[in-house]
Amino acid sequence: MKTKNFISLICFLLVFCVSNVSASIVNSTTVQNIAAKYRLTVVEIQTSIKNSSGDIVETMGAGFFIDREGHILTAAHVVYDDEDGTVDELRESNQDKGKDENRRGKTYKYQVIFNGKKYSAHFVGSNRYVDTAIIKLDKLPSDEFLPAVLGNSDEVKVGEFVVAVGNPVGLTNSVSSGIISALNRRDYELWFIEDFIQTDAPINPGNSGGPLINMRGEVIGINDATVRSMDGLGFSVPINLASEYLERMKKEGDLKITPLGVSVLLKNFPRSSGFDDIKKISELLDWNDMADLIMVAEISKTNSALVMEVKSNSPAQKAGLKIGDIIVKFNGYPVNDTFDLRVALLKTGAGKDAIPVEVVRVSEGRRNTIVFRIKFENRQKKTDEFHD
């Protein structure tokens, strides 16, 4: 009996070891295949910025082909200086393809390196709210190139194997691998909308704009090296968040959000028993009515889009929004937190009029649902001129 058990144990261990070796071989082979394929997809982007005094700043990053027309998807911070605000001037100069592109006293020039050859490119559009942009080659490569296959980042699971391709410190087509460590990272406040995929695959300067690829060879994220805190942490913009706005970037250039003029609770605070929640809400809103505070504290447990400030003469103030209102819908999009509100603002775009905004307002211990019509002025502002 003991002999049979011993033999069974040996067989189990052999099967276990063979399975692990097989998985290792499969993973290694898959990474090799992905690396070979994406050599025909990933490019190095060199951006030269010349200011009015003649000083030149050069940056580099990565990008990847998304179609046969020569459009390249990358990170927005790779192709323009965020301090300059909007980039409409870049798009307006597209009729002069191949020439330097001017904006705010600065001259931008793009060079794309693919298969060892340099190609000039021009700006097409950007979504600076999520740090993505599109440039396009002035002339298609003479060598074969392959558009990336875009996957579904909503299906990504923690623990999946992934591959990152980029140009760290100028080392073209460098490949690193790792696993998905976490999803929905939103705590960095580097970009207006954040929903990062976290990976332990190294993502260093020069990797920004390159693809994060799953084991099926599909791009699930755009690598973003602006988030750097410690070794073993890499972050990527989910491809679904980027691809949703590709056609708008091509048509509109620099995507815009019209200022709403409110500040909302960035995220819900940790809940506790007793009166701590009520005290916190009281401090945040500068309220003293106990009945209202109890109800707002209860409602905001599941919806943290609590209005903390309404700017003077803003569209929100003119429509009638007040401190303490809880936004539950914006232009038909459900809102549960600041992230949802920011996404709804981006989806709505700029220059829209009479946008419906549904709020819950607590008064005299009663919950009231009100729909306001927000009228936006037809003007553009930089992101840092408004909260949401």
- By annotation, the residues acting in catalysis are 77, 131, 208
Q: CA dihedral in degrees (296, 300, 305, 311; nearest 10)? A: 30
Phi-psi region of 317 (alpha: psi -120 to 50; beta: other; left: phi over 0): alpha
Q: What is the DSSP letter of 179?
A: E
Backbone angles phi, psi at 105, to 5 degrees: 75, 5
Q: Between vectors from CA 236 to CA 234 and to CA 263, what angle results, nearest 5°? A: 110
Which residues have CB under 8 Å from 332's CB, separation 6+?
356
Residue where the block lists tokens 């700017």 = 311
| Cα separation values, 11 from 18, 20, 21, Å | 10, 14, 15
Which tokens sit at 336?
């549960």
The helix/strand/coil state of 231 is coil
Whether 198 and 185 have beta carbons less than 8 Å apart is answered as yes
Query: Buried b / exposed e across 223-261, counting CB within 10 Å, b at 16+?
Result: bbbbbeeeeebbbbbbbbbbbebbeebeebbbbbbbbbb
Which residues have CB under 8 Å from 290's CB, separation 6+?
278
